[in-house]
């Protein structure tokens, strides 16, 4: 039994040392270069193709292609077109209108609004305002309520109330 284990150990040691060989020195490759022959003139012209490859610059032309960084799925809201003979405040959406001031007398309230083109107008209850033909329902001391009738995803026409607040709450 001792002979078998001794033989196995010697065999393992032999296999380990047999796998370790000294590295061979890499072979020297001949250098590619010019060879000077006696009596021959030196020719140093580079091929024209090598010059063209070194000077070629790639430019990207995006004409007719989509931007790869934009989403393929886009949600677009279609605004109704401007109506002929419409007042200036019927050409902008309710969310684009800014409420500047509210004034009142004994009979009714008046609201001063500013449109995105920086023009100001005075409105009262019952006036038409916004792209969807919204009517000013009520003006109070600090807000204006506007009701628009908008089509939902099914095509049903439903009322939508928008409120313009004079003083926005601090957040």
Give CA–CA dist 105/6, Å, rounded: 117
Range ranked top by mean pLDDT from 49-53, 75-79, 123-127, 131-135: 123-127
Sorted by where each begins, the domain ranges of the chain are 88-165
Confidence of residue 76 (pLDDT cuts 50, 70, 90): low
Q: Given this structure, which CATH class describes domain 88-165?
A: mainly beta
Other residues' Cβ atoms within 10 Å of the Cβ of residue 80: 9
* Residue 82 scores a pLDDT above 70: no
DSSP code string of 20-46: --PPPPPPPPPPP---PPTTPPP--PP
């Amino acid at each position: 039994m001792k002979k078998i284990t001794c033989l196995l150990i010697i065999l393992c040691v032999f296999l380990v040392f047999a796998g370790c060989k000294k590295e061979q020195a890499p072979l020297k490759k001949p250098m590619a270069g010019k060879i000077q022959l006696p009596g021959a003139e030196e020719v140093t012209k580079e091929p024209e193709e090598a010059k063209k490859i070194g000077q070629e610059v790639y430019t990207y032309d995006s004409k007719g292609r989509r931007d790869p960084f934009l989403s393929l799925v886009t949600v677009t809201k279609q605004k109704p077109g401007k109506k002929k003979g419409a007042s200036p405040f019927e050409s902008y959406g309710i969310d684009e209108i800014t409420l500047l001031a509210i004034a009142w007398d004994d009979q009714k309230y008046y609201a001063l609004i500013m449109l995105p083109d920086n023009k100001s107008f005075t409105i009262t209850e019952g006036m038409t305002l916004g792209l969807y033909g919204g009517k000013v329902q009520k003006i109070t001391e600090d807000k204006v309520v506007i009701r628009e009738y908008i089509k939902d995803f099914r095509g049903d026409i439903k009322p939508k109330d928008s409120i313009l607040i004079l003083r926005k709450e601090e957040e």
